[in-house]
Structure 1
Amino acid sequence: MKHITFHLDFISPYAYLAFEHLPQALEGLSHSVTYRPVLLGALLKQHGQLGPAEIPSKRAWTYRQVLWLGQAHGIAIDLPASHPYNPLPHLRLALATTTDGDINRHVAETIFRDVWQGGGEAGDAARLAALAARLRLQRDPASEEVKAQLKANTEEAVARGIFGVPTCEVDGRQFWGFDGLAMMRDYLRGNPWFEGPDWEAAPRRPALLRSSNR
């Protein structure tokens, strides 16, 4: 049985879509999954990236594409009333349901669907309180312990080279994005390509260095 770690941030529509599609992507395969909240903004900052919503034309494309992906794959999705929003309360709430850095699928599903179905304001205080009441909390979401756990999850992800969400990690290999699920399935089914030269050799070519004066 292969074990998969699914790195997520509830702010990401692609993470939501991948989460919903994961059972179908893994159908017929022997596997286990843990779900690990990380702070996407910190990953982007570490790697010097802007978020999709910080580039106006990319923001428009992202929202159009995720709505299309939802209807194409039969996944219910509505854009939150405001996006991006501050995902920290949701991440901390998720981690408050466990004593370690991983959450179960029920918790992830409950929070993802609260954000990405119905079109409400994700950061509304009343909605967050109602969401908290639906979950079995084992720790205080505002505690330093929970905040430290989120930081530790994110720092570990950075150390492992994870640059975005969703990222699925299995056998030390990382598969990023909604469209990465098909590639991961192919790996889990034993395609020998993944043991060939292309996987390791692909990133080893030199990059063109561009002068900042140009």
Structure 2
Amino acid sequence: MTKNIDFYFDFISPYSYLAYKKLKRINNTNQIKVEYKPILLGGLHKLSEITPPAFNERKLKNMKNDCELVAIKNDIEFEWNSKFPLNSLYLMRGYLVVEKNLKNKFFEVCFDAYWRDNMDILDEKNLDQILTTIGLDKNSFLQNIENQEVKDMLKKLTNDAFEKDIFGAPSFVVNNKIFWGQDRLAYALDEYNS
């Protein structure tokens, strides 16, 4: 059986972005098998009966400061998105519909747009720019993300994550062990390499 890291993410999560950038840097020199698992963080919070940090002023303020600190300490380009929180539903569905050979590019371009470039990912011009950068046809993309099977798939992935006791993003699963948070990536890698 091939070992891999299951990386549960949502583009809305700044910590998922930071973890992705850290993992990408590590993966440039190591061949780590990563399975990206898109989830709707808002849906997961609802299932877990968790109030998202974005709706708690103190948590939000501290989360913003913490993300900026993590970015500085890890030399990651990061700018808190002035529109946070934005609904990431279309992009999360989009990850499911893009062809396999474009998934990594989609992943990076979407994360960078939101957490590096401070883009309003719901703005039509920005979405056009994102899709053009990736090489995707806008009409086909918009049609595909409205497909009921795609909607059901994202809902199932979110429900499956909840059933596995995942409650936040990023979460990493290695050998059936859950590691929650970008600051636990090192522990997930230790488990992966054991």
TM band (smaller chain): 0.7 to 0.9
Q: Distance in 2 between matches of 1:30 and 1:70?
A: 24
| Contact 1:82/1:122 (8 A) holds in 2 | no
Question: Relative contact order (alpha carbons < 8 A, sep ≥ 6): 1 or 2 greater?
Answer: 2
Mark the CA change 1:136 to 1:157 in structure 2 (over 3 Å): closer, same or farther: farther
| Contact 1:94/1:107 (8 A) holds in 2 | yes
Matched, 1:63 2:41: no
Mark the CA change 1:166 to 1:96 in structure 2 (over 3 Å): closer, same or farther: same
SS in 1 for 2:36: strand
Give 1:68 shift. Answer: 1.2
| Contact 1:52/1:59 (8 A) holds in 2 | yes
The size of the alignment, in residue pairs, is 187
Mark the CA change 1:136 to 1:152 in structure 2 (over 3 Å): closer, same or farther: farther
User: Which of 144, 147, 163 is residue 143 of structure 1 equivalent to?
Assistant: 147
SS in 2 for 1:5: strand
Matched, 1:152 2:156: yes
Q: Distance in 2 between matches of 1:21 and 1:82?
A: 24
Q: Which runs of 5+ in 2 are unaligned?
A: none
SS in 2 for 1:186: helix
TM-score norm. by structure 1 comes to 0.80
Superposition CA RMSD, Å: 2.1
Give 1:145 shift. Answer: 2.0
Q: Distance in 1 between matches of 2:34 and 2:93?
A: 20
Give 1:143 shift. Answer: 1.7
Deviations 1:21-44 (A, max 9, x none): 013456765531111110001111
Tell me the equivalent position of 2:3. Answer: 2
| Contact 1:26/1:185 (8 A) holds in 2 | no
Q: Which runs of 5+ in 1 are unaligned?
A: 191-214
More helix by share: 2
TM-score norm. by structure 2 comes to 0.87
